[in-house]
Chain A
Amino acid sequence: MASPAALLRRLGHAMIERIWRLGFAARFLAAILRFSGVSLTRPQLTVREIYFSGVLSLLIISVSGLFVGLVLGLQGFETLQRFGSTEALGILVALSLVRELGPVVAGLLFASRAGSAITAEIGLMKTTEQLKAMDMMAVNPIARVVAPRFWGGVIAMPLLAALFSAMGVLGGWLIGVVFIGVDDGAFWSQMQSGVDFRYDIVNGVIKSFVFGIAVSLIAVFEGYDCQPTAEGVSRAITRTVVTSALAILALDFVLTSFMFRGSS
């Protein structure tokens, strides 16, 4: 039976540990930004990372976007039918995708598809002491390894989210117009009159951009910070996916409460 003082001490220790890690992550971000020059002067490094985190995620993002759109089309039609306003299906599908589902689901998929890969790669480089070897050769591992992966993720994420939303709208159109028979003109015109470019689409893009920064930072940080053992790498990958998911959902709430205050 531990004494209350010991319990409190353990709580305090855990808390200090968390805050220390948070501060370390912030300083890590500052270091990435400071050493980003190499990613600009040698864009080939960043392009390579866009290939690994962006191009290789194309399939999963477009297929999931299509299926989310199909489901939204079916469920939305089912509900709207009760109110006799099935023409509003377009605006329902488009707004839910552009504002929320596009950035959030694409972010979650991106974290599990690309974020985990980045963590594993950097973690394994650390375990096999490649990062140290680079340091020995006077190559800064943050500039050479971490920053390009960070920027690759930041650039790829908004594009993937836009693709997700677009595929979702096509999926909703496919179910609503082609299979069920909602009027094609009403579907698109209601959508266009209800979705504002500045208010809905730009805010969605800002969201996906913020999620891209968060996921990429978490992925490279967990990889760089992992215990240099096989178990440590696997733990770091798990932490990447869990922390990214939590960060995306929490940031989504914060951003939504600033962007859409329900005034309109």
Chain B
Amino acid sequence: MNRATIDLWVGIFVAIGIGSLLFLALKVGNLSSSRLSNTYTLEARFDNIGGLKVRGPVKSAGVLVGRIADIHFDPENYEAVVTMSVDGRYHFPRDTIAAIYTAGLLGEQFIGLEFGGDETMLKPDETIRKTQSAVVLEKLIGQFLFNKAAEGEGAN
């Protein structure tokens, strides 16, 4: 086996290896599509965030516009403070509502931004005023039973 052949084969090998890495990065992973470019942060306060997680999606009209950067608890107001990094291409009015939705019946939870009609836009690091907490299934069932019981009393 002479030197040129070995060089050729090693070249082919390295090209195949790097090709596989590119395939993984571009076709399998999300490097190509949903990279967010020069993001800015927005804040929102919720009474209850349910099962929301860091790195979860932020969507508007169903399109991914950002990711959840940080979640922490505010001990003064007993609220959850969610920091989102939103793609710099998108701006939202000041009366935007941030609501927590669930994708599918058992899917992951995400923040949906429902835009309002305000003319001024939210600036970076500003806080979204109007929020809607996650739906907690136990509360919902409890409320339903409570209503049923109230109906039953009314009939008597």
Chain A contact residues, CB within 8 Å of chain B: 44, 47-48, 50-51, 54-55, 58, 94, 98, 156, 158-160, 162-163, 165-167, 169, 188, 191-193, 195-197, 199-201, 205, 263-264
Q: Closest residue to A159 on the B side, CB-wise?
A: B17
Of B7, B20, B30, B54, chain A has the most CB atoms within 10 Å of the CB of B20
- Cβ–Cβ < 8 Å partners of A199 in chain B: 55
Q: What are 23 A-B pairs at a CB distance below 8 A?
A: A44-B3, A47-B6, A47-B7, A51-B9, A51-B13, A54-B13, A156-B13, A160-B17, A162-B20, A162-B24, A163-B16, A166-B28, A167-B20, A188-B27, A192-B28, A192-B32, A192-B34, A195-B30, A196-B29, A196-B55, A201-B28, A263-B54, A264-B53
Taking the complex as formed, is B145 at the interface, i.e. its CB lies under 8 A from any CB of chain A?
A: no
Known: A54-B17, A166-B20. 20 other contacts (CB 8 A): A47-B6, A50-B13, A51-B9, A55-B9, A55-B12, A55-B13, A58-B16, A98-B28, A158-B17, A159-B16, A159-B18, A166-B19, A167-B20, A169-B24, A188-B27, A192-B29, A192-B33, A195-B29, A195-B30, A264-B55
Taking a contact as CB atoms under 8 Å apart, the answer to whether A51 and B10 are in contact is: yes
Which secondary structure dominates where chain B touches chain A? helix
Distance (whole angstroms) from the CB of B45 to the closest CB of chain A: 22
- Cβ–Cβ < 8 Å partners of A158 in chain B: 17
- Cβ–Cβ < 8 Å partners of A94 in chain B: 28
Taking a contact as CB atoms under 8 Å apart, the answer to whether A201 and B24 are in contact is: yes
Q: Closest residue to B23 on the A side, CB-wise?
A: A166
Taking the complex as formed, is B14 at the interface, i.e. its CB lies under 8 A from any CB of chain A?
A: yes
- Cβ–Cβ < 8 Å partners of A205 in chain B: 21
Contact flags B18-50 to A (C-beta < 8 A → 1, else 0): 111101110111111110000000000000000
Contact flags B39-69 to A (C-beta < 8 A → 1, else 0): 0000000000000011100000000000000
- Cβ–Cβ < 8 Å partners of B3 in chain A: 44
Taking a contact as CB atoms under 8 Å apart, the answer to whether B13 and A201 are in contact is: no
Tell me which of A51, A160, A165, A263 contacts B24 (CB under 8 A).
A165
- Cβ–Cβ < 8 Å partners of B34 in chain A: 192-193
Taking a contact as CB atoms under 8 Å apart, the answer to whether A162 and B29 are in contact is: no
Which secondary structure dominates where chain A touches chain B? helix
With contacts defined as CB atoms under 8 Å apart, how many contacts are there between chain A and chain B in the complex?
A: 89
Distance (whole angstroms) from the CB of A256 to the closest CB of chain B: 18
Closest 6 CB pairs of A and B: A159-B17, A166-B20, A162-B20, A197-B29, A197-B31, A163-B20
- Cβ–Cβ < 8 Å partners of A188 in chain B: 27
Tell me which of A159, A165, A166, A197 contacts B13 (CB under 8 A).
A159
Known contacts A54-B10, A55-B12, A201-B24; decide if A163 and B17 are in contact (CB<8 Å): yes
Tell me which of A47, A50, A200, A263 contacts B29 (CB under 8 A).
A200
Query: When chains A and B are docked, how far (Å) is the Cα of A54 from the Cα of B25?
Result: 22
Q: Closest residue to B33 on the A side, CB-wise?
A: A192
- Cβ–Cβ < 8 Å partners of B6 in chain A: 47-48, 51
Contact flags B71-107 to A (C-beta < 8 A → 1, else 0): 0000000000000000000000000000000000000
- Cβ–Cβ < 8 Å partners of B13 in chain A: 50-51, 54-55, 58, 156, 159
Q: Closest residue to B64 on the A side, CB-wise?
A: A193
Query: When chains A and B are docked, how far (Å) is the Cα of A175 from the Cα of B6?
Result: 35
Taking a contact as CB atoms under 8 Å apart, the answer to whether B28 and A50 are in contact is: no
Known contacts A159-B14, A162-B20, A166-B24; decide if A197 and B9 are in contact (CB<8 Å): no
Taking a contact as CB atoms under 8 Å apart, the answer to whether B18 and A197 are in contact is: no
Query: When chains A and B are docked, how far (Å) is the Cα of A53 from the Cα of B23?
Result: 23
